[in-house]
Amino acid sequence: MKIRKCERCGRYTLKEICPVCGGKTFYPKPPKFSLEDRWGEYRRKLKRALRNKLPMQSSDTVN
């Protein structure tokens, strides 16, 4: 048995159907963590571009 979360009311339960509102439940697993972040470089470039409100350039390097 694993803990589940209701899609409608957000309550936690062990059942497939929420006993409070009758909504469907799902397993609230967090995303996988990896020290080798494949998309980190692009995410940081986008964040920097949005912060500076400048267009992204391919010459940007990540330190």
pLDDT confidence of residue 15? 95
Cα–Cα dist 3/15, whole Å = 8
Contact between residue 62 and residue 41 where contact means Cβ atoms under 8 Å apart: yes
* Side-chain-facing half-sphere of 51: CA atoms under 13 Å: 6
Cα–Cα dist 17/25, whole Å = 6
The structure tokens listed for 8 are 């409608």
Per-residue pLDDT tens for 5-57? 999 999 999 999 999 999 999 998 876 777 888 888 998 899 898 888 765 55
pLDDT confidence of residue 1? 79
Just give the CATH number of 1-30: 2.20.28.40
Global pTM reads 0.47
- Decide if pLDDT at 63 tops 60: no
Cα–Cα dist 28/3, whole Å = 8
